[in-house]
Amino acid sequence: MAWVYEKASNRYKSTDTGRYLSQEAAKGLRDRWAVAQREKATGLASRLASGDLTLKGWEQQARALTKETHLAQALLGRGGRNMMTAADWGRVGNTLRAQYGFLREFANEIAGGTLTEAQIAGRLGMYTDASRQSYEKARAASWGITLPAHPGDGNTRCLTRCACWWDLQKGPDGVTATWRLGASDHCEDCLENAAQWSPYSGGARVRIAGLSLPPLGWVMSGNGAHG
Ligand SMILES: [Zn+2]
C-alpha cells in the first residue's frame, strides 16, 4: 500500500483506498519505531560485552543508531523527505548534536568500568526512546506551530520514556494543540502538562504561522518557555 502526505490536511493518505491515516495510528508508528530501535540498542550492549565491538566501535554504532532513529522520526512527523526544509534538517541536526555530546560522556563512563551490560543497554535505549521528540517537533513544524515542550525531550521526570503526544486539530481560527497522555508511564509532569495544555494556549490558541500574530504575552515569555 502506498501513502502520500497531504499538505493541506497534514495527514497521510492511502493512494489505494483514499483513506487517511489517523494521528493515533501515526503516533503508533512513532512508538513502534522507538521500540524496534531500542532492541538494536540492547544488541549493541551485548556486542560490546562480548568483545565483538570495541568501545570506540560501540560509540560509532550508537551514534549511527541515534541518527537513524531521530531522522526517521523527523521524516515521519514532517510528512516525508520531500517535505523537509533546511530548517527541518537543522532542527534534527541540533537535536543530534546534543545527543552525540551525551553519548561522548556516556562512553567515558563506560570506559570507567562502572556500568553493567544491562545498564548500558538501558541507557542507550533512552536515546532511541528520545526520538519521539523528533517526531513531535517535526510534526509541529509541519502544522506551522510552536509548542512549549515535546514528549521525550527530557523536560518531564519520566524523561525519554514519555509516550505522550500532541493531539493537533485544525479549527476555524487556528490549531488546537492538546497534550495527551501515553498509554502508560505517566509521571507527575506529564499529568501536569495534560491538565495545563488541554488545549495549550500561550494566551490564546496556537495560530497557524503566517496567518496571524502570536499573542504578545507568549512572545514576551519566549516560545521555548513552559506555561
Ligand atoms: Zn509523558
User: Looking at residue 172, what is its pLDDT?
Assistant: 79
User: What value does the mean pLDDT take over residues 68-73?
Assistant: 97
User: What value does the mean pLDDT take over residues 45-53?
Assistant: 98
Separation of CA 13 and ligand 1 centre (Å): 28
User: Looking at residue 214, what is its pLDDT?
Assistant: 39
Separation of CA 162 and ligand 1 centre (Å): 4
Q: What percent of the chain has pLDDT over 70?
A: 88
pTM of the model: 0.86
Convert the pLDDT of each residue in 22-46 to its tens digit: 999 999 999 999 999 999 999 999 9
Separation of CA 189 and ligand 1 centre (Å): 7
User: Looking at residue 202, what is its pLDDT?
Assistant: 62
Convert the pLDDT of each residue in 137-153 to its tens digit: 999 999 999 999 999 99
Is the pLDDT at 108 greater than 80, yes or no? yes
Separation of CA 224 and ligand 1 centre (Å): 18
Convert the pLDDT of each residue in 5-21 to its tens digit: 999 999 999 999 999 99
Q: How far is CA 195 from CA 181, 182, 227, in A?
A: 10, 14, 11
Place of cell 493512494: 15
Is the pLDDT at 63 greater than 50, yes or no? yes
Separation of CA 196 and ligand 1 centre (Å): 13
Q: How far apart are CA 165 and CA 163, in angstroms?
A: 7
User: Looking at residue 164, what is its pLDDT?
Assistant: 95
Separation of CA 28 and ligand 1 centre (Å): 15
Is the pLDDT at 217 greater than 60, yes or no? no
User: What value does the mean pLDDT take over residues 45-68?
Assistant: 98
Separation of CA 147 and ligand 1 centre (Å): 15
Separation of CA 92 and ligand 1 centre (Å): 21
